[in-house]
Amino acid sequence: MTVETSIIAGRTSKWDGILDVCQMLSGVGLILFMWAHMILVASVLIGPGVMNAIAEFFESTGMAQVGGPLIFLLFLFHFLLAARKLPFRFEGMKIIFSHAKMMSHKDTWLWIVQAVTAMIILIMGSIHMWVVLTDLPITAAKSAARIQGGFWTGFYLVLLPMVEMHVGVGLYRIAVKWGVIKADGRAGLHRGENILTLVFICIGLATLIRFWFINALA
């Protein structure tokens, strides 16, 4: 290896490290946002008035108008960073699946789950954000009308588990990759992540059911 090649390799490694840190930070930010988003939307379970009051607060402070597009940009930024390591050609996908089967390694399969859900979320999440942000203000009545339209019920029944699985696996992989959890703690973290994912899916399903019947109960 020449000196020039060594310098270039060093620079590449340095930038890869920086991009990995950015990916981790953007991932953590999106995980926190998704948890907050789920809890705020689920406030409709307490009552439509509670959700409307929270939404009105975000509207009056401009957080919805400004924060929404910023979250969307962060969402795209995170995907672009993660896409550096995703195989987009069939040959690459085939190799990864064959290696996963051969090694029978749980963390490798979790990476595949995260990659597949990322592709689905990129499309469906973009549609969701576009629909919501182009129809401000957010109200319980609007959300209920959308869900009761039929199509969006199926849409969110797919998007909900995809997002929660991606968030759960992402949290686990961040903790493992960055040394937050050691090898002997992986099993416990994985169980906790599965429980947390199931809890948020249940909250999401309860919220969808509430929206479906909100007019009948009002």
The three-class DSSP label of residue 109 is helix
Q: Which residue has the higher pLDDT, 197 or 104?
A: 197
Label residue 156 by pLDDT band (50, 70, 90). Answer: very high
pLDDT at residue 8 tops 70 = no
The annotation places the binding site at 37, 78, 128, 166
pLDDT band at 11 (very low <50, low <70, confident <90, very high): low
Better-scored residue on pLDDT, 78 or 92: 78
Q: How far apart are the first and last CA of the chain?
A: 73
Q: Could you tell me the CATH number of the domain that includes residue 31?
A: 1.20.1300.10
Residue 150 has pLDDT above 70, yes or no: yes
Residues annotated within a binding site for heme b: 37, 78, 128, 166
Which candidate, 17, 31, 14, places its Cα nearest to that of 174?
31
Confidence of residue 4 (pLDDT cuts 50, 70, 90): very low
Count of C-beta atoms within a 10 Å radius of residue 199: 12
Phi, psi of 43 (to 5 degrees): -60, -15
Listed residue (81, 113, 86) closest to 17, CA to CA: 81
Give yes or no for residue 180 having a pLDDT over 80: no
Confidence of residue 1 (pLDDT cuts 50, 70, 90): very low
Q: What is the pLDDT of residues 43-78, one digit of tens each?
A: 999 988 899 898 888 888 877 788 888 988 998 998
Q: What is the mean pLDDT of the chain?
A: 81
In this prediction, residue 91 has a pLDDT band, given cuts at 50, 70 and 90, of: low
| CA–centroid distance for 200 within its chain | 12
Number of domains making up the chain = 1
The pLDDT value recorded for residue 215 is: 66
Contacts of 82 (CB under 8 A, 6+ apart): 23, 118
Boundaries of domain holding 74? 3-217
Cβ 87 vs Cβ 118: under 8 Å: no
| Cut 0.75: pTM above it | yes
